[in-house]
Every structure is written in C-alpha cells, then in structure tokens.
Amino acid sequence: GENVEQHPSTLSVQEGDSAVIKCTYSDSASNYFPWYKQELGKGPQLIIDIRSNVGEKKDQRIAVTLNKTAKHFSLHITETQPEDSAVYFCAASKGGQLTFGSGTQLTVLP
C-alpha cells in the first residue's frame, strides 16, 4: 500500500519567516495530495490540495509543489503569523482513501 513520510516532525520559525514541510510518497499511482491543518482540540481542516496534473498551486501565503518524478511534494508558508502555529499533515490518495504523513508541529515565534 501507499506510504507517506513527512519531515520535519517539529519546526520553529520566527514570525514573518517562511516555513517548508516536505513529504514523500511511495505509490506512483497516487494522484491527489492534500494538506491539512489541525489546531489543538480540533479536527484536521483542508488548507490546500494539488492533483497530479499540476506542478504548483498557490493560495495567498500558502503554496504546494509536486514533483511526480521524485514522488515528493512540499508545503510552503510565507510571511508566517502566530495563527499559523498548528500541526500540519500531508496525505496522498489514488482513489479516495487518504494515507497521511505523521504530521509536523509548526510553531511561529513572535
């Protein structure tokens, strides 16, 4: 089955700096790659996603890049703010079922 690895497990950045979280996947048939943000005590919430026919997607301060050849994808957050502090999960899917990475605890220091 699919295996998704996510790095780093924790990340601290100064407010205003950029944050990058990286994931690799094993199944070349995977075609959908969402990123979820989970705040303390809440369920994960989709923040951005990308499909395999696209190399990059942006939404304001958030961007995701996909390299199908290398089977890795990354989340980029620019101009980080304290409210960006949360756990971020990547996931991969080839048909509805999601396989999640282990999560990254992002802390934005004021």
Partner 1 sequence: NAGVTQTPKFQVLKTGQSMTLQCAQDMNHEYMSWYRQDPGMGLRLIHYSVGAGITDQGEVPNGYNVSRSTTEDFPLRLLSAAPSQTSVYFCASSYSYRVGSYEQYFGPGTRLTVT
**Which residues contact partner 1 (rule: CB under 8 A)?**
1, 4, 6, 9, 32, 34, 36, 41-46, 49, 89, 93, 95-103
- The smaller minimum CB distance to partner 1, of residues 78 and 105, is found at 105
Amino acid making up residue 70: A
CA-to-CA distance for 47 and 11, rounded, in angstroms? 18
Amino acid making up residue 65: T
Among candidates 110, 107, 85, 97, which has minimal Cα distance to 2? 97
Distance from chain centroid for Cα 95: 19
- The smaller minimum CB distance to partner 1, of residues 28 and 97, is found at 97
* Per-residue DSSP letter, 79: S
Q: How far is the CB of 102 from partner 1 (least distance, A)?
A: 5
- The smaller minimum CB distance to partner 1, of residues 41 and 110, is found at 41
Give Dmax (Cα) for the chain: 41
Q: Which residues pair with 10 in a beta bridge?
A: 105
Q: How far is the CB of 95 from partner 1 (least distance, A)?
A: 8
Q: How far is the CB of 17 from partner 1 (least distance, A)?
A: 25
- The smaller minimum CB distance to partner 1, of residues 52 and 78, is found at 52
